[in-house]
Amino acid sequence: MADILGPMTGAGRYAPSPSGDLHFGNLRTAVIAWLFARHSGRDFLLRVEDIDVGRSSPESAQRQIDDLLTLGLTFDGEIVYQSARFDSYAAALNRLPVYECYCSRKDIQEASRAPHAIPGSYPGTCRSLDDAARTRRRADLAAQGRVPALRLRAETDSFTIHDYYRGAYTGEVDDFVLRRGGQEPGWAYNLAVVVDDGFQCVDQVVRGDDLLSSAPRQAYLASLLGLPVPEYAHVPLVLGSTGKRLAKRDGAVTLREMLVDHSVPEVVGRLAATLGYAGVDKLSQLLEVFDPEELSRDEVVWESI
Ligand code: GLU
């Protein structure tokens, strides 16, 4: 266990993917995660989720870190970079029941349209292939310069987590990918996040609502690895004017863009207002008044500041 489980202290974390500058929605989630951790006396850790080396860059990671510090967030311990943790993912994978999957995205889409299939979930096409079929399919892929993905052989089809705001939440668990295949194989987010939360002793995961449906898969994986399952709090994402999640198309949404015409206290003031604490413009002050029970759960729509 020593390879994946670090020293035992409770912690919260913020885990951005460094593929662009942090925007108002990212900052809001980071601030809420920080408030939850500090309010409950936990450490607060930063993890750079640069698992996808093609889409991440060290420059982007550094800009994100600088932005979080500019805003006034404080972190404990060393920053963990997923790109430096591939050996730990391999060690964890070795302890899990897995099978090779040769399906293309199109194969999966077609199979999941079959009657009784659960939309979006892997229908188990490659789960029970015999050795001869596996040898053939592996060779077919190799001829195209591709390698198979590795999927978890899940022994359940659902798992229940506890979410601070929703209570018990039961979600689907399928044979999800642990190692991506194709021409550029790589570690899957669901494996990395679980191994890293275990390694960093994270017992409180506060993040955007878009990841709620992944939490049961991740919690199930943690239980298979003998890691404690964290307490979750999923919070609403900030939406742009079109009703979709906030993005570049919505204007000057990044911290750097906002700071062209506004001060840090003005940005913090706007963040605090969306949490239900209008009039507060410092993070230290926000922490004094913060009560997770009172946090506004309303949908937040971006308005330029
Ligand atoms: N890296 C993910 C993101 O930026 C967040 C992962 C997590 O918080 O579990 O969306």
- CATH number of the domain where residue 294 is located: 3.40.50.620
Angular region, 298: left φ>0, alpha ψ -120 to 50, beta rest:
beta
Q: Give a yes or no: residue 1 inside a domain.
A: no
Q: Indicate the number of domains in the chain.
A: 2
- Angstrom distance (rounded) from CA 131 to CA 135: 6
Q: Give a yes or no: residue 271 inside a domain.
A: yes
Q: Give a yes or no: residue 75 inside a domain.
A: yes
Q: What is the pLDDT of residue 107?
A: 87
- Cα 300 to middle of ligand 1, angstroms: 19
Burial per residue of 26-65, b for 16 or more beta-carbon CB atoms within 10 angstroms, e otherwise: bbbbbbbbbbbbbeeebbbbbbbbbbbeeebeeebbebbb
Is 18 near ligand 1, meaning CB less than 6 Å away? Answer: no
Q: Give a yes or no: residue 226 inside a domain.
A: no
Residues 6+ apart with CB under 8 A from 275: 28, 31, 32, 286, 290, 295, 296
Q: What is the pLDDT of residue 53?
A: 86
Pocket test for ligand 1, best of 52, 55, 80, 193 (most atoms within 8 A of CB): 193
Amino acid at 11: A
Q: Give a yes or no: residue 268 inside a domain.
A: yes
Give the confidence band of 1 by pLDDT, cuts at 50, 70, 90: very low
Whether 107 and 79 map to the same domain: the answer is: no
Q: For 180-193, what is the mean pLDDT?
A: 96
Q: What is the pTM for the complete model shown?
A: 0.94
User: Ligand 1, atom 7: nearest CA belongs to which residue?
Assistant: 15
Q: For 111-136, what is the mean pLDDT?
A: 87
- Cα 22 to middle of ligand 1, angstroms: 12
Whether 56 and 155 map to the same domain: the answer is: no
Give the confidence band of 219 by pLDDT, cuts at 50, 70, 90: very high
Query: Domain range holding 58?
Result: 11-92+189-202+237-304
Q: For 111-133, what is the mean pLDDT?
A: 86
Q: What is the pLDDT of residue 228?
A: 96
For residue 29, give the nearest of 47, 16, 42 by alpha carbon: 16
Q: For 266-271, what is the mean pLDDT?
A: 97
Whether 84 and 101 map to the same domain: the answer is: no
Q: What is the pLDDT of residue 7?
A: 45
Q: Give a yes or no: residue 5 inside a domain.
A: no
8 A C-beta contact, residue 4 and residue 199: yes
Average pLDDT, the chain: 93
Q: What is the pLDDT of residue 9?
A: 62
CA angle (27, 228, 217) in 5-degree steps? 70
